[in-house]
Amino acid sequence: MSTVFVERVIVSVVFGLAGLAKVLALAFETEAFVRWGFPVGFMYFIGILEIAGALGVWMRKLAPFAALCLAVLTVGAVATRLIFAEWVAAVVTAGVLAITLHFVWQKRRELFPH
């Protein structure tokens, strides 16, 4: 089993479940977005993007772009966690960001062909 495969599974499961929680408007997600001052519609939008990215990492030509987009979303998530002093969540989210960026790095030749 390759590193790329393991990272692909981690990225797709983490973002797929996170996106599903947002799209289903689970209480903890709705409460968090309200606490952060974001509209609930933004939560649905982020959830849809996360689900699309989770599916996209399994599509050969789309995988590096999908992961890069997920990484950009995750930078925003880390920033939000830091702004609201949610330190443990910020560290966990930064770990997900690191895995996602490593996946992008592994697929960089597909992202930027010579």
C-alpha to C-alpha distance for 3 and 24, rounded to whole angstroms: 31
What is the pTM for the complete model shown?
Answer: 0.93
**Per-residue pLDDT reduced to its tens digit, 57-100:** 999 999 999 999 999 999 999 999 999 999 999 999 999 999 99
**Per-residue pLDDT reduced to its tens digit, 31-65:** 999 999 999 999 999 999 999 999 999 999 999 99
Buried b (16+ CB within 10 A) or exposed e, 7-41: bbeebbebbbebbebbbeeeeebeebbeeeeeeee
- Domain edges within the chain: 3-109
